[in-house]
Amino acid sequence: MTGVAVIDYGMGNLRSVAKALEHVAGSARVEVTSSAERIMQADRIVFPGQGAARDCMAELQRLGLDKVVKEAVRSKPFLGICMGLQVLLDASEENDGVQGLGIFPGRVRRFPAQMREAQTGDMLKIPHMGWNQVHQTIAHPLWQGIAQDSRFYFVHSYYVDPTDSAQIAATAQYGVEFVCAMAHRNVFAAQFHPEKSHHAGLALLSNFVRWDGNV
């Protein structure tokens, strides 16, 4: 198989992700699959997800896909989206504590209670839901052609807190400054949903399907 494999472990808006990838993939094939063999035959891997961390990890382990993800991040251009970023870290505060895949060192933390908008003083709701500016902190092939502080779409109550600041690819502001994208070698992962982020999101996905994994 050549093309892009979207990992199907029963969580996440897979159709939306696949359709957005198909829109930018040209002749490359996009396949949604839970087959370890098909995933590892693909040129590029997309790991989407939404929902609760405990459910995500349980399904990955039940299907044996936790091992597939760990192998894929060692060998292929890899894009994590939303929960597909969070479970790459060591652990999450969600569900009274959940062990992650340990690919990025660090933890996933809940937004603080009683946050207020800096300019107006208005109380901020959790989850953080809607459009927000993304501030790129490193040059990366997936940022090519995307203007600094472009707006992307978010839906989340937890955010990543990485140990290694060199792996931070972007930040955003919501009551606090938080990391919204991470990158290391052939892996790029984002808290926002590029498949729901119109022109900037499609640009990022287009960059990904042409990326060879080198930075």
User: Other CB atoms closer than 10 Å to residue 107's CB: what's the count?
Assistant: 17
**β-pairing verdict for 89-92 and 44-47:** unpaired
Among 56, 82, 128, 180, which one carries the catalytic annotation? Answer: 82
**What are the CA-CA distances from residue 183 to residues 86, 101, 174 (Å)?**
13, 16, 21
> Residue 149 corresponds to which tokens in the numbers above?
């502080």
Nearest-angstrom CA–CA distance, 202 and 208: 10
Among 94, 128, 180, 195, which one carries the catalytic annotation? Answer: 195
- Is 128 known to be catalytic? no
Nearest-angstrom CA–CA distance, 179 and 150: 15
- Do 32 and 39 touch, CB atoms closer than 8 A? no
Among 128, 140, 184, 193, which one carries the catalytic annotation? Answer: 193
> Residue 123 corresponds to which tokens in the numbers above?
């109380």
- Do 29 and 213 touch, CB atoms closer than 8 A? no
> Which burial class, exposed, middle or buried, applies to 213 when counting CB atoms under 10 A from its CB (0-12, 13-18, 19+)?
middle
> Would you please indicate which residues are annotated as catalytic (active-site) residues?
82, 193, 195
